[in-house]
Amino acid sequence: MRSKKTKFIFVTGGVVSSLGKGLASASIGALLENRGLDITLIKLDPYINVDPGTMSPFQHGEVFVTEDGGETDMDLGHYERFTHARMSRLNNFTSGRIYNAVITKERRGEYLGKTVQVIPHITDEIKASIRQAAQDVDVVIVEVGGTVGDIESLPFLEAIRQMRYDVGSQNAVYIHLTLLPYIGAAGEVKTKPTQHSVMKLREIGIQPDFLLCRTDREISRELKDKIAMFCNVDNGNVFTSPDVRSIYELPLELHRQGLDERLAEVLNIWSRAPHLEKWETIVRKIYEPARGEVTVAIVGKYVNLTESYKSLNESLLHGGIANDVRVKLRFVDSQDVEAQGPEKTLAGVDAVLVPGGFGVRGTEGKIAAVRYARENKIPFFGICLGLQMAVVEFSRTVLGLKGANSLEFDEHTPHPVVTLMESQVKVQDKGGTMRLGSYACALKAGTVAHKLYAQESIQERHRHRYEVNNAYRGRLQEAGLVISGHNPELNLVEMIELADHPYFVGCQFHPEFKSKPFAPHPLFSGFIGAALAQRDAHRTQAPATPVRA
């Protein structure tokens, strides 16, 4: 039983996908949290996969990993970055997970011989899942994935329709996010797609209380009143979600329009005035950095879809905020590095980052990028697979172990310097079976890692199967590779670095999952700081431009 009277905000989307429901939900969470309320957020995904863990990044974008090892939708990353709410596997439910739970109960005989149906059994399971994640908070923001009209989302929409009757109309509101397209030939913004989307939502039984209209331009009061009238929404409850230069400006923009004030009023929530100074500072540092710009190359295999590296991109931006510098990202396909060489593809960058990933394609390009950064003293950061590629490159080039590789990419390598964990050898299922979630890492005193974290032991989130082979650990260290972090319980390598390099750091975990704009992760702050030093050193060393007489 909840000790607080929890309020529910349900966010749906219409017209088209990718309107930014996740960012809108996160921004609303940030505003309400800044009004002194305890909040949490839930994402309901209509697809049949149990979780996104086995889906290609090209299909789904990034998989966000929670502290408890949940492989979840990338929107949960927005939720954690914008608020202090800690996400868990309870904050993301898919159709697959809901149906799996219901079928498991049916097989155990828990329904006492009843015919199992979408209503009430599936919808009851959805509602129970929402309630489970809504313990002891003031407000729960529930985002329903997909677009109104999709057949897959109907059980979720029916469940949230019922919840208003379960919790009382004064404790639940519906926000519908739609598109207001501008038709250039006509020279005007069209409201008809929004009207049709609301009509479809009302057919399902949900009358939205608020409309949040995505647009690329200012909308007049007259147009908002027209939308309100045709969609049966109060005049003061039509807001816009405008295109902004930075996603971190969105909470400020929604507050400027008074969305948080109106939500508090409709839900009858007592709250203080919001304190948004930190958001204003963040936006200023993004738009007007005092120290110019640095260029970071991200050498990966999913560079054609930057959503695959969403948390990583944001964490690099956070590192820029910490150093008051703009971070320009240059996405480099690792296959291009293989074909053209790192000298051409990485020329002029201030730092090189090799992120995580799966599969053999492009790995030799990543190894070449590591060597280029190591030999040319360019700041390098390797994350998960990036650390493993750094170990492979060091083994081949410095130790002279010809053919050294990871068993993931070459089962017959004579030197498996990266190998499958013993506990993973007999694993057949791919979903949810990796080393997932938060694990301890003990840091070695005097290392860059120890200096950046300023503590002896840390907790970081993992998502991988392969590890540095302990059989080669001694030889690697004798040759100069510093093991700066290890897991004391499993005796596994967690961090590496080089002492004779400006910044050469690798980590087996994913620090990008814990970085926030107002609390940048120390590894990203240090990395961007090293890129800034590299840029300044190059400027100092650059020859003077000849002056013509």
Q: Is 193 annotated as a binding residue?
A: yes
- To the query of whether residue 512 is one of the catalytic residues in this protein, the response is yes
Q: Is 244 annotated as a binding residue?
A: yes
The 8-class DSSP code of residue 274 comes to P
Q: Is 344 annotated as a binding residue?
A: no
Q: Is 289 annotated as a binding residue?
A: no
* Chain center to CA of 476: 33
Residue 207 is encoded by which pair of tokens? 């009358």
Q: Say if CB 23 and CB 250 are below 8 A apart.
A: yes
Q: Is 455 annotated as a binding residue?
A: no
Q: Is 105 annotated as a binding residue?
A: no
Q: Is 65 annotated as a binding residue?
A: no
The 8-class DSSP code of residue 251 comes to H
389-to-20, 25, 157, 291, 304 alpha-carbon distances in Å: 35, 37, 45, 32, 21
Q: Is 152 annotated as a binding residue?
A: yes
* Tokens 């202090």 found at: 84
Q: How far apart are CA 131 and CA 91, in angstroms?
A: 11
Q: Is 410 annotated as a binding residue?
A: no
Q: Where are the beta strands (DSSP E) in 314-449?
A: 326-333, 351-354, 380-383, 405-406, 416-420, 435-443
Residue 462 is encoded by which pair of tokens? 């993992």
Reported as type and span, the H/E element at residue 39 is strand 39-45
Q: Is 21 annotated as a binding residue?
A: yes
Q: Is 253 annotated as a binding residue?
A: no
Q: How far apart are CA 45 and CA 51, in angstroms?
A: 9
How far the first Cα of the chain sits from its last, in Å, is 84
Query: How many residues are given for the chain?
Result: 549
Candidate list 213, 384, 441, 507, residue with the active-site label? 384
Q: Is 140 annotated as a binding residue?
A: no
Identity at 284, one-letter amino acid code: R
Q: Say if CB 195 and CB 211 are below 8 A apart.
A: no
Reported as type and span, the H/E element at residue 155 is helix 154-167
Q: Is 190 annotated as a binding residue?
A: yes
Q: Is 150 annotated as a binding residue?
A: yes
Candidate list 78, 464, 501, 510, residue with the active-site label? 510
Q: Is 110 annotated as a binding residue?
A: no
Q: Say if CB 362 and CB 393 are below 8 A apart.
A: no
Handedness of CA 79, 85, 87, 92 (dihedral sign): negative
Q: Is 18 annotated as a binding residue?
A: yes
Q: Is 357 annotated as a binding residue?
A: yes
Q: Is 23 annotated as a binding residue?
A: yes
Residue 294: helix, strand or coil by DSSP?
strand
Q: Are strands 504-507 and 492-498 parallel, antiparallel or unpaired?
A: antiparallel
Q: Is 207 annotated as a binding residue?
A: no
Which residues in 43-80 are b (16+ Cβ under 10 Å) and which e? bbbbbebbbbbeeebeebbbbbbbbebbbbbbbbbbbb
* Chain center to CA of 138: 24
Candidate list 62, 467, 497, 512, residue with the active-site label? 512
- To the query of whether residue 231 is one of the catalytic residues in this protein, the response is no
Q: Where are the alpha helices (DSSP H) in 37-122?
A: 57-60, 75-82, 95-107
Q: Is 426 annotated as a binding residue?
A: no
Q: Is 446 annotated as a binding residue?
A: no
Q: Where are the alpha helices (DSSP H) in 422-519?
A: 448-453, 473-478
- To the query of whether residue 486 is one of the catalytic residues in this protein, the response is no
Binding-site residue ranges for L-glutamine: 357, 385-388, 408, 465
Catalytic residue IDs: 384, 510, 512
Binding-site residue ranges for CTP: 17, 150-152, 190-195, 226
Binding-site residue ranges for ATP: 18-23, 75, 244
Binding-site residue ranges for Mg(2+): 75, 143
Binding-site residue ranges: 17-23, 75, 143, 150-152, 190-195, 226, 244, 357, 385-388, 408, 465
Binding-site residue ranges for UTP: 17, 190-195, 226
